[in-house]
Homo-oligomer: A and B are copies of this chain.
Amino acid sequence: MTLQISSAELEIMKVIWRKPGIGATEVADVLADKQDWNIRTIKTLLSRLVDKGALSIEQDGRRYLYSPLIAEKAYQKNAAGQLVDRLFGGRAAPLVAQLADARGLSEQDIEELEALLGRLKR
């Protein structure tokens, strides 16, 4: 139910989360390395995101500046929750187990997870 953001749209959102109030051209600049997208493609994606209510626009002369209407963390929580529900019976541990098995956990991950668990336990 929560506002469906496609994979290509997400790339756009990520840029705007990092730099709210950015224009289409700057989004294209930021993405130039990663994606080989025509500026028109980016503009279409921006429009769709505005239509969907994921971005707000502010007029700046002849152009628009885009800002997120949904927070990155909210989106992350939702996406993580969906994955866990759809594939892991709603449980976090099996998800982490698969991740650990597939690619291992970094030292940093392990430390952070321990700290997190410690906090949750008291």
Query: Contact residues of A with B, CB < 8 Å?
Result: 7, 10, 73, 75-81, 83-84, 86-88, 91-103, 105-106, 108-110, 112-114, 116-117, 120-121
Contact = CB atoms under 8 A, between A and B. Distances in A.
B117 A86 contact: no
Contacts of A78: 102
A102 to B, nearest CB: 4
A85 to B, nearest CB: 10
A95 B80 contact: yes
A71 to B, nearest CB: 12
A83 B80 contact: yes
A91 B112 CA distance: 10
17 contacts: A73-B98, A76-B98, A77-B99, A77-B101, A77-B102, A80-B95, A80-B98, A80-B99, A80-B102, A91-B109, A92-B96, A93-B113, A96-B96, A100-B120, A110-B117, A114-B117, A117-B117
